[in-house]
Amino acid sequence: MLLVVAFALVLLSVPLGGGRLSALAQLELSAVWLLPAALSVQVLIISVFPDENSWLLPAAHVFSYGIILVFLVVNRAHTGLRMVGLGVAMNAAAIAVNGGVMPASDFALTLAGRSGATGEFMNSAFVGDAKLAFLGDIFAWPDPLPLHNVFSPGDVCILVGAAILLHQVCDSRFFNAREPSRRRLLPIKPL
């Protein structure tokens, strides 16, 4: 939920940068159906069948990231989506080498007020001897704050990439490489 709120704030920043959210209607993306498919898989494993004790839930978790990566490769022409793809790849790598679970640091989990094992499938949890632990959920939004949770470097890349994409598509002055600088250079006077 923390990343959803952060993404909503990025969306709200577009008008602050002089951009038009209506420009998103002209964004041409291919295979968009892959995103709800991946989200459906994640909702099923986290919310509908979390107490299934089988290899299927971790495998489905890794598979959902594979679906997202296919979407991002198909749409790689968009600069912001390349950064999103980097973040998704970072998360997918950490999840894949840790048995389908995003490894979370014990410190970050404690800071975020998230306790240990519940007996259910957790998409993010402490993993003893985690591989690629530096790509795991090592950051925390602390417990006294609303939406306290843990997040990864990949999540940060995903959010930055989404911001770049949104601001470029919506012609915002933030993150927009297409727009020339509005600063006027002062002429240099000879001595």
Q: For residue 38, give the nearest of 95, 78, 82 by alpha carbon.
A: 95
Domain annotation covers residue 43: no
pLDDT of residue 126: 85
pLDDT of residue 9: 93
* pLDDT greater than 80 at residue 81: yes
Domain annotation covers residue 83: yes
CB 76 within 8 A of CB 82: yes
Domain annotation covers residue 28: no
Domain annotation covers residue 112: yes
| Amino acid letter, 55 | W
Domain annotation covers residue 188: no
Domain annotation covers residue 81: yes
Domain annotation covers residue 95: yes
| Amino acid letter, 18 | G
The residue range of the domain holding 75 is 1-10+58-176
* pLDDT greater than 70 at residue 40: yes
pLDDT of residue 121: 60
The predicted-structure confidence for 96-124, as pLDDT tens digits, reads as follows 999 888 899 999 888 888 876 555 566 77
pLDDT of residue 181: 43
Q: How far is CA 148 from CA 78, 102, 140, 141, in A?
A: 31, 17, 7, 5
Domain annotation covers residue 126: yes
Domain count, the chain: 1
CB 126 within 8 A of CB 106: yes
- Both tokens of 39, joined, read 């989200």
CA distance 157 to 148: 19
- Average confidence (pLDDT) over 176-184: 46
* pLDDT greater than 90 at residue 52: no
